[in-house]
Structure 1
Amino acid sequence: MTFRRNAELPESVKRCLPPPAQDIYRSAFNHTWQGCRSPEARHAMQRELLAHKVAWAAVRRRYEPDGSGWRPKH
């Protein structure tokens, strides 16, 4: 499960992040997803949760919430 375009991201991500932050999210998610391969299906949910956590952490490094959305850190 990777995201080829920002339009494929979860609605919660698209709704609150500006497009450049969505790019960061998508890239971090995809990188983590592809790096955490497990042959067992029961690990798929853990893999997805980890990928979302890493993606949000990547966004937080460069953006911060401003009440109505997210803005770049200065």
Structure 2
Amino acid sequence: MEGEGFNHKGDYKSKSNLPDSVRNVLPEHAQEIYRASYNNAHTEYHLKKNRNNPTDSLEEICHKVAWSAVKKKYHRNKDGNWTEKK
């Protein structure tokens, strides 16, 4: 996933570099949670020995961790929009 906005370490430099599937649906604060969680997971799991299942791709793990973090503070409302939990 090398490219603009995705640095040599594999993490996202800014919210503007997040995938469209994240940027187009999550509020700003949720995007920050996603970005920070993704980057932390990338640091933690870049070595296969640190993964529960070493055959899982690093990118897949990072996205799962990031979405899990978002879902702790946000949920989809009945209209399908992501809103902060109360």
Calculate the TM-score normalised by the size of structure 2: 0.75
SS of residue paired to 1:2: coil
The DSSP-based 3-state class of the residue aligned with 2:75 is strand
Structure 2 unaligned spans of 5+: 1-9, 49-53
Kindly indicate whether residue 85 of structure 2 is the aligned counterpart of residue 73 of structure 1. Answer: yes
- Look at both structures and tell me which one has the larger radius of gyration over its CA atoms: 2
What is the number of residues matched between the two proteins? 70
Of structures 1 and 2, the one with the larger relative CO (CA 8 A, separation 6+) is 1
The alignment yields a C-alpha RMSD, in angstroms, of: 1.5
Aligned counterpart, 1:52: 63
Structure 2 distance, partners of 1:32, 1:12, is 19
In structure 1, stretches of 5+ residues that fail to align are none
Task: State the percentage of identical aligned residues.
Answer: 33
Q: How much does 1:68 deviate?
A: 3.6
- The structure with the largest helix share of the pair is 1
User: TM-score under structure 1 normalisation?
Assistant: 0.87
Q: Tell me how far 1:38 sits from its aligned partner.
A: 2.7
Structure 1: which 4+ aligned runs deviate by more than 3 Å?
Answer: none
Matched position secondary structure for 2:24: helix
